[in-house]
Chains A and B, each alone.
Chain A
Amino acid sequence: MDARIAPLVRLSAAGVFRAGRWIARGIDLTVAPGEIVTLIGPNGSGKSTTAKMALGMITPDEGGAERRRGLRVGYVPQNVAIDWTLPLTVERFMRLTAPLSRATIEAALGETGVAHLFHAEARTLSGGEFQRVLLARALARKPDLLVLDEPVQGVDFSGEIALYDLIRAARDRLGCGVLLISHDLHVVMAATDRVICLNGHVCCAGAPRAVAASAEYKALFGDRAAASLAVYAHHHDHTHLADGRVRHADGTVTEHCHPEDGHHHEHGEDHA
């Protein structure tokens, strides 16, 4: 992360107090353009609350939340239920919050692999299909900040990896900041620049590997979770940037990848 670039959002010691308890407290968080920040933590650890503070949907009861002026947000919420009383096609759903051209909509749906659903009724989609439509909608807005609350729920495993690759490709293309919430502790994408591990407060934060190795993380999720996180990082421990350089899991950037780097994933299409 380039220190000269002003962050898109910044939470400083932010906290939310509801019904007699602090849902989240002392949260420090910044997302810079081009940076992928992942929030992980157990149920009820304040991940969604933190994202909502960052988006300005919840005003923190203490601390501060700042957003860059005119910030364009693309949001993939955790659950959207389309009521059967709503006559809503996928095409109209794509234009829900802003007008988009037909070409833009088709391109975005094609990108997430659901171009054939253009005319489909939104309420008839399966969970995984709808998740892809939600992501397509958020990307079609060409956001400065992409906020994804569990974007791969209901998506099968191979689709999950494809969607994570897609998010990374979108980051590279749009240069947007990404705030990702993952309940799936076993798959924290390798492209993540920083992992913030929440448990009502910021439990630990840093590059994915550093977090996986930290004592706090192991205490929160146990050794097995840490091991599986590391296994996945083995597959995706470096990222090919658009300019040909390589970003490693620890956040360093080099000209080429090292022979000891993990298994190469199909980067070809992402950066073609």
Chain B
Amino acid sequence: MLDDFFVRALLAGIGVALTAGPLGCFIVWRRMAYFGDTLSHSALLGVAVALLFDVNVTLAVFAVSVLVALLLLALQKRATLSADSLLGLLAHSSLALGLVALAFMTWVRVDLSSYLFGDILAVAKSDIAVIWVGGIVVLAVLALVWRPLFAATVSRELAEAEGLRPDRANLVYMVLMATVIALSMKIVGVLLITAMLIIPAAAARRLSSGPEQMAVFAALFGAAAVVAGLFGSCNGIRLPDRPSWWRRSACSCCR
């Protein structure tokens, strides 16, 4: 069964969507859509690092994303710039750095578009294992920090005063985000990761009456969009596969 590229694509896509949905809810609640963009832009720098030092791409992307997330936390504490300006600063400096580094490495020929847009149909069995194991770990850790993280989302002051240590929860959340980006970059691509985080959560918002419910709905909507998009691109009118799954879930959001 796993020998079929289409089944592999389905499994990988569903795995990523189930993980990204709940994390994406926090992005929507905290109004930090640009944060997902920043981390995914920095993923390209991770690709350059991986090629330069000949290490695993997923690991390198993870390391660079964590680094950028920590840098953001540190800058937020000190700098006098607002969060969105800082994100812009980090996003584009890391993107530029990544592109320059790739351009300088004349000995490697990189298919940039496969990193920018991902390639869900080129998923290997090992990728599926990484996505599902990584995804389960991410969701388990998210469940552990859920209360402090959600409390800090509603009111940082309240969470801090009542001893929930919001800084620690935020740090854990940033690492989880970096993990999801590293897991999904290969199949979704740098430019579409934010869509995967935000659109299912936005679609779930209308139908949910509680935060936990919204997280579950976001995961399910994302998975349904993956299935619908892949079948649509396979059976129908030769749609390019990836844009079409996001369009599906965008439709369910605006309905």
Residues on A lying within 8 angstroms of B by beta carbon are 52, 55, 57, 73-75, 77, 80, 82-83, 85-89, 92-93, 96-98, 141, 147
Name A97's contact: one of B158, B205, B213, B214 (CB within 8 Å). B158
Interface size of B by Cβ–Cβ distance < 8 Å?
24
Residue of A nearest to B208 (CB): A87
Q: What's the Cα separation between A255 and B202 when bound, in Å?
A: 63
Contacts of A86 in B (CB 8 A): 29, 153-154, 211
Which of B161, B164, B213: most chain A CB closer than 10 A? B161
Asked if residues B210 and A92 are in contact (CB atoms below 8 Å), the reply is: yes
Asked if residues A85 and B154 are in contact (CB atoms below 8 Å), the reply is: no
Q: What's the Cα separation between A86 and B201 when bound, in Å?
A: 11
Name A77's contact: one of B29, B157, B163, B211 (CB within 8 Å). B157
Contacts of A82 in B (CB 8 A): 154
Residue pairs across A and B with Cβ atoms less than 8 A apart, 29 shown, are A55-B160, A57-B161, A73-B161, A74-B162, A75-B157, A75-B161, A77-B157, A77-B158, A80-B154, A80-B158, A83-B29, A83-B31, A85-B29, A85-B31, A86-B29, A86-B154, A87-B210, A87-B213, A88-B154, A89-B209, A89-B210, A92-B210, A96-B154, A96-B155, A96-B159, A97-B147, A97-B151, A97-B159, A147-B161
Q: What's the Cα separation between A87 and B202 when bound, in Å?
A: 11
Question: Given the known A-B contacts A77-B161, A85-B205, A86-B29, are A96 and B151 also in contact in the complex, defined by CB atoms under 8 Å?
Answer: yes
Contacts of A83 in B (CB 8 A): 29, 31
**B:141-161 near A, CB below 8 Å:** 147, 150-151, 153-155, 157-161
Task: Answer whether residue B175 sits at the interface, using C-beta atoms and an 8 A cutoff.
Answer: no
Task: Answer whether residue B28 sits at the interface, using C-beta atoms and an 8 A cutoff.
Answer: yes
Contacts of B213 in A (CB 8 A): 87
Contacts of B163 in A (CB 8 A): 73
Given contacts A86-B153, A86-B211, 8 further A-B contacts (CB under 8 A): A73-B162, A75-B161, A75-B162, A80-B154, A85-B31, A86-B154, A87-B209, A141-B162
**B:12-33 near A, CB below 8 Å:** 28-29, 31
Asked if residues A96 and B157 are in contact (CB atoms below 8 Å), the reply is: no
Residues on B lying within 8 angstroms of A by beta carbon are 28-29, 31, 147, 150-151, 153-155, 157-164, 205, 208-211, 213-214
Q: What's the Cα separation between A41 and B191 when bound, in Å?
A: 52
Q: What's the Cα separation between A98 and B150 when bound, in Å?
A: 12
- B231 CB to closest chain A CB (Å) equals 30
Residue of B nearest to A51 (CB): B161
Residue of B nearest to A75 (CB): B161
- B72 CB to closest chain A CB (Å) equals 21
Contacts of A55 in B (CB 8 A): 160-161
Residue of B nearest to A71 (CB): B163
Contacts of B164 in A (CB 8 A): 97
- B111 CB to closest chain A CB (Å) equals 37
- A94 CB to closest chain B CB (Å) equals 12
Name A96's contact: one of B29, B158, B205 (CB within 8 Å). B158
Q: What's the Cα separation between A93 and B162 when bound, in Å?
A: 14
Asked if residues B209 and A57 are in contact (CB atoms below 8 Å), the reply is: no
Contacts of B31 in A (CB 8 A): 83, 85
Q: What's the Cα separation between A141 and B164 when bound, in Å?
A: 14
Which of B155, B209, B210, B213: most chain A CB closer than 10 A? B155
- A16 CB to closest chain B CB (Å) equals 16
Q: What's the Cα separation between A86 and B152 when bound, in Å?
A: 13
Question: Given the known A-B contacts A85-B205, A87-B213, A97-B164, are A75 and B158 also in contact in the complex, defined by CB atoms under 8 Å?
Answer: yes
Contacts of B157 in A (CB 8 A): 57, 75, 77, 80
- A163 CB to closest chain B CB (Å) equals 19
- A76 CB to closest chain B CB (Å) equals 9
Name B150's contact: one of A77, A85, A96, A141 (CB within 8 Å). A96
Contacts of A74 in B (CB 8 A): 162
Contacts of B151 in A (CB 8 A): 96-97
Asked if residues B211 and A87 are in contact (CB atoms below 8 Å), the reply is: yes
Q: What's the Cα separation between A113 and B57 when bound, in Å?
A: 58
- A175 CB to closest chain B CB (Å) equals 19
Asked if residues B162 and A87 are in contact (CB atoms below 8 Å), the reply is: no
Q: What's the Cα separation between A96 and B31 when bound, in Å?
A: 20
- B178 CB to closest chain A CB (Å) equals 23
Contacts of B154 in A (CB 8 A): 80, 82, 86, 88, 93, 96
Contacts of B159 in A (CB 8 A): 96-97
